[in-house]
Every structure is written in structure tokens, then in C-alpha cells.
Structure 1
Amino acid sequence: MSNIITPSSIIATPASRRGFMRSGGALSAVAVALLAGKDVLAQGMSADVTKDVSILNVALGLEHEAINAYQLGAGSGLLQKPVLDIAVQFQGHHKAHRDALIATIQKLGGNPVAEKKLDDYAKALNAGALKNQADVLDLAARLELGATNAYLGVIPSLGSKDLAKVAARLAADETMHFTVLTSALGRPLPAGALSYGA
């Protein structure tokens, strides 16, 4: 079995981003507008707010998972200084995603899902199996690839260019993370064009 990560070889985490999008994770235009900070655009639109809050809470749970995965990596003692700095930077990006999701859920009148304890994430992500820097980077790359595909998966359901742009920007963050991590692992990027979001 090859160690090369491709869009079709994403690990199945307990709350897989890819599975989430395939199971009807399309947000309403209202939710995406609020997520983008475009409150005025959201005014006058109708939506199933309960469904949006549920979907956003799944996405929030996944951002919590990413933040904690980077925390596990940073606290493992397995990352060399330059790699550790990048991991902390990527964790910061996920914290910004988390904060945007929380704000949107609250604007929709929902209750944001709580973050679990670090030990719960360690168990779910099998952190005990992380033995070296490559193991940590491999886990992060797999999670980032799943995030890329999840955010790309929501774009076709959006009827607004502005809303599609928000989802594309989130996907771009995740793709950047995946690309940097894949490069740090010394692995080739997918050879074919249009390999993400398939």
C-alpha cells in the first residue's frame, strides 16, 4: 500500500468531513452569508435555521478536532522548531474558522457544540500511535485533505457567487495546509489536475 495521500485515500475519522458533506451537509444561503460576516446579505432570506445550526455544529466539531490535532502534535515533542511554528500557525487558522462558526451559530439562535477534552481527541485520533514527526504530519495532512474536500463539496449547492466565494476561501486555507504538509513529508502532490473535491 502506498503512503501517498490522494483525495480518494482519506482516513475515516469519527466525524469525517467528507462523509459529512456527502450526507447532505449543504448550508442555506442565510447560514453561509452569516458565516462570511455578510449579515446584510442574509437579511430577507429564508432558511431552515434548525438544519443550518445542525450542519454548522458538525463543521464546528470538526474545527475543534483540527485545533486539538494540532495541539496534540505541538505538545508531542516530536516536531522540530520550523515545523512546530507552521503547525501553530495552521492551528490559528482553524481557531479563526471555529470563531466564525460559533458567531454564525449564535446569530442563527443556536447553541455551539462544546469542545471535548484533549484526551478525547487523542483517543479518537489514535495519538498514541504518533511516534515521530512524519506520523504527526501524516495525520494533519489527512485531516486537511478531508477539510479541503468538505468545503469544496458545499460550493455547488450555493446559488450566490458571494457565498460560493466564502466556501472557496475556506477550502483554499485547507488546501494550503495540505500542500505544505505534503511537501514537508517529501511526498508528491496529486499528479492529475482537478484532483480535489472529487
Structure 2
Amino acid sequence: MSANALPARRNFLSTSGKATLSVAAIALLAGRPDLAAAAPGDMGKDVDILNVALGLEHEAINAYQLGAGSGLLQKPVLDVAVLFQSHHKGHRDALIATIEKMGGKPVMERSLDDYAKALNAGTLKSQADVLALAARLELGAANAYLGVIPSFKEAALAQVAGRLAADETMHWTALSSALGRMLPAKPLSFGA
């Protein structure tokens, strides 16, 4: 996959009308099979959307692996990168479990070399380069997860997407701070 395809995958999650998850899919993500059983929805479309999200989580896990293995990250930044990677592994596991509960087949993780090529890992020459890449990916993921929230009528179900977006936003904020970047000056900076 080319680097240009990455924003398109994130946009797929937030494209109005084309990629909204059903209540059933979000209920399963939230660990609420009782709500999922009672909810109507097109599970095939949901599986496709969840697989896009899963692909983003695979990408994030491997981006952090590339950063951690690069030798460019110094402590305590390395420890934070490993922590954030563990968050993405938790997201991945929740998505895989949900896709399987829906009868779908989770998209497979590609090789580390494939992610290195797609993310242009060869251009990473410093800790700041690694952090900038991670911050860009986290911002894209936060916006993607925020983009699906409006499709939920049940506040409890929208909470799952909100929690995922909150993790991504927390990651972006910490990475931006480590880079010495200022926080956004304007309100409502995410999800637009």
C-alpha cells in the first residue's frame, strides 16, 4: 500500500453514509451482545468497516515496532512508544473479537517490511522523525474514530468509538508535546 492510500483508509471510516457502523457492530465492540442481538444492521458492511479499523490498528502496531526497533528512540520516549503500541494491540484484539463474533474474517496483518515501505521508514533518521510519523498516524486515527460517532443513536454505543478516539487523541497529544509542538490554538480541533 502506498503512503497516499493511508489517508483514504482513514477517510473510509468517516465518510458519511458509506461507512457507518450498525448498532449491532458497536454493541459487540462494547461487549454488549444483548444489544447486538436485538439490533438490525448490515453485518457485511460492518465487517468491512471494522476491517478498515483493524487495518489501521495493524499499521499503528507496526509503526511503533519500527520506531522501537530503529534505535532512534531514547528512554523514556521508548517506554511511551511501547505503551502506546500495547494500547493499539488492545484495540486490535477487540476489533478481531468483534469481527469474528459477526461471522467475518479479520484482515490479516502484513509483514513488518510491508509497513516499513508504506510508511517510508527509511526516511526516519532521528527520534523526532519517528515521533512525527507516530503523531501523524495518531491524528488520522483519532479523526477516523470521531467520524463514526454521529452514526450512533445510543450514547452507550457511541462511547466505544469515543473511547478509541480518546486513546488516539491522548497519544497524539503526548507525541506532539514530546516534539515541542504547541497544542491547537482553536477549539474543536479534532474530528473535522
Tell me the CA shift for residue 25 of structure 1.
Answer: 2.1
Aligned to 2:11: 19
CA contact (8 A) 1:155 1:168 kept: yes
Runs (5+) with no aligned partner, structure 1:
1-11
Letter in 2 for 1:128: G
Residue of 171, 177, 191 corresponding to 2:185: 191
Q: CA RMSD in A?
A: 1.1
Counterpart CA distance in 1 for 2:168 and 2:140 is 9
In the superposition, relative to structure 1, how do residues 195 and 143 fare at CA in structure 2: closer, same or farther (>3 Å)? Answer: same
Aligned to 1:3: none
**What's the TM-score, normalizing by structure 2?**
0.95
CA contact (8 A) 1:78 1:131 kept: yes
Aligned to 2:141: 147
Letter in 2 for 1:96: G
Aligned to 2:128: 134
Secondary structure, counterpart of 2:6 in structure 1: coil
Residue of 81, 84, 90 corresponding to 2:78: 84
Aligned to 2:30: 36
Q: Percent identity?
A: 72
Aligned to 2:159: 165
Tell me the CA shift for residue 197 of structure 1.
Answer: 0.5
Secondary structure, counterpart of 1:159 in structure 2: coil
CA contact (8 A) 2:14 2:148 kept: no
Counterpart CA distance in 1 for 2:11 and 2:37 is 31
1:113 paired with 2:104, answer no
Q: How many residues align?
A: 187
CA contact (8 A) 2:13 2:147 kept: yes
Counterpart CA distance in 1 for 2:52 and 2:147 is 15
Give the ranges of 4+ consecutive aligned residues of structure 1 lying more than 6 Å apart after TM superposition.
none
Tell me the CA shift for residue 14 of structure 1.
Answer: 2.1
Counterpart CA distance in 2 for 1:122 and 1:65 is 10
Aligned to 1:7: none
Greater RCO, CA 8 A, separation 6+: 1
Secondary structure, counterpart of 2:76 in structure 1: helix
Secondary structure, counterpart of 1:25 in structure 2: coil
Runs (5+) with no aligned partner, structure 2:
none
Q: Deviations over 1:103-136 (max 9, x none)?
A: 0000000000100000000000000000000000
Counterpart CA distance in 2 for 1:61 and 1:18 is 10
Counterpart CA distance in 2 for 1:66 and 1:151 is 14
Letter in 2 for 1:30: A
Tell me the CA shift for residue 50 of structure 1.
Answer: 0.6
Residue of 39, 45, 54 corresponding to 1:51: 45
Counterpart CA distance in 2 for 1:133 and 1:157 is 38
1:61 paired with 2:61, answer no
Secondary structure, counterpart of 1:15 in structure 2: helix
